[in-house]
Structure 1
Amino acid sequence: MENSTNSLIMKKTIHAERQDIYRALLQQSSDGKLKNGSIKHVAAIFGVCMRTVSRIWHRAKLQVENGSTLDLSSKMLQVVGRKRIHLDLNQISQIPLRRRTTIRSIAKSLTISKSTLHRRIKEGELIPHTNSIKPDLTDVNKTKRLEFCLSMITRPLLNSNPTFHDMFNIIHIDEKWFYISKSSKRYYLVPGEDEPLRTCKSKKFITKVMFLAAVARPRFDAIGNEFFFGKIGIFPLTTKEPAKRSSKNRVTVTLETKPILSVTKEITRSWLLNKVLPAIKAKWPPNHTGPIFIQQDNAKPHIDVNDSEFIEASSRDGFDIRLCNQPPNSPDLNVLDLGFFRAIQSLQEQEVLHTVDELVSAVQTSFDKMQSHELNNVFLTLQTCMKEIIKVQGGNSYRIPHIGKSRL
């Protein structure tokens, strides 16, 4: 479509230029004859060769003598030059998907050049798609997912549409590894600029720290003012250990931050009791009534929902905080996995880090920088995912639709 439009514009431009050349020649003529040097003069004005000007004049003169309509349009458009190579979409659809992962393999299967295929992709004839692997769901998993999504819908009143619960009493928690650097990173350099040199002793052992994050849905008053930002906290799973020997950076017995590389139920319970619960009680809106649910996934290091130590600690100070599990194999039902962790990581990766303390500080700073409306948007995405899960009867073969969250 774009090429046909460009061809039409070019055709109109050439036709208008030929008309201008003919009008300039008419001004140089007398009784149907050109003055001496007129063709050379007009050719210099329009920057074309004298032969082209002469051909236009004789063609127009012949049409006038025959009484036919004056037509100075080019007869060679779309006749000369390289012909456009069109893709046979039916032929492409017959190529196995495993051979449609690179431009080189598709071009080889179609026996065309890579540059031609690349141009067709830029024009939109072929659509690049990034495919991510999803959890394998059993029938029991699908049933649990469907029940979970349906439990989040309020019973509608008579002649009213069903709606989702506001989810103001649900706190999502999850863990994620954050790395001090990535093994492969993209930069945009100016011509002649040296590429950056990044080194480490082994790509398999890049420094990393696991963080436990807890977020709830932000709350706003009737006129849109925020009174609860929803970010409970993000807590690094690290310990302080004394240095065993001196170095140029610190002396012996200096406390160093070390990541906890193996997380157990005892560690999870300790972080919930000593960090997550105090943060919830300190930041939770005072006017809230009713139970508060902490939603976790089914990872083995997570404690049971009926853990006695947690129940005892969570019921103090007038709070009613309970644990609940999301359906198995369902990262799309947790706002942290659904996009909030990735947003934090994108900010953290913009920093240059060298130590564990710098990594911890960068992640916590990125967490604090996230705006509450962005967190609220992820909750809207969660509700959209629930709608799609209900449509596919508990499966995960769906695409998240665009709903224009910024306009809602």
Structure 2
Amino acid sequence: MTSYFEKSCVISGTGMSKMYRKPQVYPFNLAVDACRNAIADAGLEIGDIDGIACWPHAAVHVGHGSSAASPVDIKNSLGLKLNWFEAGMGPGQFASIANAIGAIAAGYCNHVLCYRAEGERWVPMYGSAFADGNLPTPEGFNQWTTPYFAPSAATWIALHADLHMRQTGLSREQMAMIPINQRKNAALNPNAVYREPITLDDYRAARMITTPFCIFDCDVPIDGAAAVVISRADAVPASSRPTVRFEAVGTALHEHFSWFQRHDFPNMAMNDAAKMLWSRTDLTPDDLTSAHLYDGFSWLTVLWLEALGITKPGETGAFLEGGQNIALDGLLPLNTNGGQLSEGRLHAFNHLVEAVRQLRGEAGDRQVADAKVAVCSAGGGVFGSALLIVRD
């Protein structure tokens, strides 16, 4: 097996802020909280951090909105002395993680602070904002959707989901097991914004958004932040806690910056990212003890299950049926923190924090027994990224 450098990097620290469904704390302050928490969790000092990365790009001096903290502002607020920084798009929401590993491999830095900061409740960006005609300037493939008042991902992703469900036989009742199970997990997570249980009857009666998605299939915009510290393994202070190491990384970009027009449609960038991930390890899907998969919509989690080879198209519905296989004590515990459907949307950074907690044995009432190998994924459509992390 070829030796890949990610295996020499560890997640030394994780941190989260409180999550707010209603605007209460300025989002930039929440980003600072998450970053401080991650550095402290790593057993490091502010002066040890010599790299920083976020996703996506964030404007300087703007502490709210869909990207609520620029690296410049975090650097200055924390007093960081940096050798390297990154603040771009990249292949999927875990691009900052992959880039941090590359920067460490190049010798630019030893400890990189990676974070995702959301402030979408502080300044509402959806709903009435669009209804009042305040549509964004269309770019890329959005130029074909915005004029029809369809700028939301819920619209075009629903088209893909409907086709996939017709082709594979996946039912809404089977897909419902994802949000129902995640709400059950969220009840054990004090930081989740939605903790009340939901039933299949609740799901069936819920407000439809875009067929086949109801409100419970859609992730939850919040004000909040999550952060991790990626470190060179030999630069981490000694600790009695289990070490969480990267086993493999997979990233990919669509051949078109669009959810459509791919030559092997309905495959997406996530299929390419998953293929890259498994090519860099001797482990297989059978080795997984938990999965923390992107759930911007419930159906995207289905697609990641299939892309990663955990299930096969046409068989995922049966795997989800009843929810037993994905429960905390099931065959493959799924999104144990409640995910973006219940804990809140941080573009899978909260999934990564949860995966580390599981591998360390720090997940409390939602702890998975004998957690050793976890997969995390982010994105869909035009870009995707996946991380395989293990407990040493």
Return the TM-score normalized by structure 2. 0.24
Higher relative contact order, structure no. (Cα contacts within 8 Å, ≥ 6 residues apart):
2
In terms of fraction of residues, the more helix-rich structure is 1
Return the TM-score normalized by structure 1. 0.23
